[in-house]
Amino acid sequence: MDKPEAFPNLRVLDLCRGYPPAFSTMVLADFGAEVITINPLGYEKSTLPINPTDEEKQAYAAIDRNKKSICLNFSSDKGRSIVHELVRDADIFIENSRPGTMERLGIGYDELRNVNPRIIYCSLSGYGQDGPYRDVVGHDANFLAVSGALSLIGPKNGQPCLPSNLLADMAGSYLHSLIAILIALLAREKTGRGQYIDLSYTDCVFSLLTFEVTMFFLTKEPRRRGETIQTGSQPANNIYSTKDGKLITVAFFEPQFWKNLCQALGRDDMIFRQWPRTDEERDEVFEWLSRVFLTKTRDEWWEWAKAKEMMIAPILSLEEALEDQHLKHRQMVLSLPHPTLEEVTQVGNPFKLSDTPPRFKHFGPLPGQDTDRILLSLGYTEDHLKSLREERIIQ
Taking only the tens place, the pLDDT of each residue in 225-254 is: 999 999 999 999 999 999 999 999 999 999
* C-alpha span between 244 and 190 (Å, rounded): 59
Residue 21, φ and ψ in degrees, nearest 5:
-65, -25
Give the whole-angstrom CA distance, residue 5 versus residue 217: 45
Q: Which residues of the chain have pLDDT under 50?
A: none
Centroid of chain to Cα 139: 14
Helix, strand, coil percentages, rounded to 5, for the chain: 40, 15, 45
Which pLDDT belongs to residue 159?
95
Q: State the amino acid at position 192 in one-letter form.
A: G
Residues 29-44 pLDDT 10s: 999 999 999 999 876 6
Q: Which domains does the chain have, with CATH numbers?
A: 11-208+340-390 (3.40.50.10540), 230-241+247-314 (3.30.1540.10)
- Phi and psi based region of residue 106 (left: phi greater than 0; alpha: psi -120 to 50; beta: remaining): left
Element (H, E) at 186: helix 176-191
Q: What's this model's pTM, rounded to 2 decimal places?
A: 0.93
The three-state secondary structure class of 102 is: helix
How much is the pLDDT for 48? Answer: 52
pLDDT at 164: 87
Q: What confidence score (pLDDT) does residue 53 get?
A: 79
Question: What distance in Å separates the CA atoms of residue 143 and residue 200, rounded to the nearest whole number?
Answer: 9
Round to whole Å and give the CA distance between 208 and 277: 27
- Res 6: pLDDT: 94
Burial 141-165 (b: 16+ CB within 10 A, else e): ebbbbbbbbbebebeeeeebeebeb
